Amino acid sequence: MSHNLLQRVSTRQLKACLAIALSLPLLWVALGIWREAQQPTSGFGPDPAEGLLHFLGSTAIIILLCAFSLSPVKRRLALPALGPARRMLGLFAFAYVTLHFVTYGWLYIEASFSLLLEDVVERPYITAGMMAVAGLLPMAMTSTAAWRRRLRRNWQRLHSAIYVVVPLAILHLAWLRKDGFAEVFVYALWFLIMLLERWWWRRQKAGAN
Ligand code: HEM
């Protein structure tokens, strides 16, 4: 798609395309569950619970980083139509994080609250993951225009939690990884570039005033 064509895409068309693209991993999960039901271990690899958990976790972190990248990309490519897509990206990220957490709660600790507490206390990567979810939850709950109006400046403050949530999610991954850090490095670099762009843009804006 050329840059010009991208600029002519309406917000509604963009949101429709995005909703379809963001639902594809869900379709993959549904297909995996169906394949698993047909023949064990054919859906998500030799350890289906782990395969599903990892797939949902990776999807969540990638969409989270996409949501964090939206403002810089919108500015740099002069694509104002991208603005309203941020809420959708954020909500999809939250949905995949929730599914990731539900998979862990259901298949790993079998809905045991005491095992969850034990993991939160004893496993730093679970602590970091839970803290990331705790930051995302109020953002998802207050994502509507009505909440934005009601909270006014506090809405912005609440949603700045993204600057903590993304590093916590990356830390979660870094802590649990036993083999290689290539993925962690790529996500951390992605986050850093988007952070630098924001810093640079604020500096330019301050210089212009
Ligand atoms: C923003 C929140 C979160 C994000 C973005 C996230 C993302 C991820 C990612 C990317 C992975 C590794 C996937 C791979 O290796 O391919 C992972 C693994 C995992 N996550 Fe999360 N996660 C989050 C929160 C949580 C929470 C709240 C829990 C549980 C309380 C949790 C439990 C796990 C577990 C048990 C694993 C697998 C550990 C292992 O393989 O030994 N995550 N997560």
60 lines ligand 1 (CB under 6 A): yes
Question: Amino acid identity of 60?
Answer: A
Ligand 1 contact, 162 CB (< 6 A): no
Count of alpha carbons within 13 angstroms of residue 88, beta-carbon side: 16
Sketch the domain layout of the chain as residue ranges: 3-208
Name which residue sits closest to atom 8 of ligand 1, judged by CA.
57
Q: What is the pLDDT along the chain (209 residues), one digit of tens a residue?
A: 555 666 667 778 888 999 999 999 999 999 999 999 999 999 999 999 999 999 999 999 999 999 999 999 999 988 877 888 899 999 999 999 999 999 999 999 999 999 999 999 999 999 999 999 999 999 999 999 999 999 999 999 999 999 999 999 999 999 998 888 899 999 999 999 999 999 999 999 888 77
From 43, 51, 141, 45, select the one nearest 90 (Cα to Cα).
141
CA triple 10-78-164, angle to 5 deg: 100
Closest residue CA from atom 35 of ligand 1: 104
**173 CA distance to ligand 1 middle (Å):** 6
Please give the backbone phi and psi of residue 161, each rounded to the nearest 5 degrees, phi first. -60, -20
Does ligand 1 have an atom closer than 6 angstroms to the CB of 108? Answer: yes
| 70 C-beta closer than 6 A to ligand 1 | no
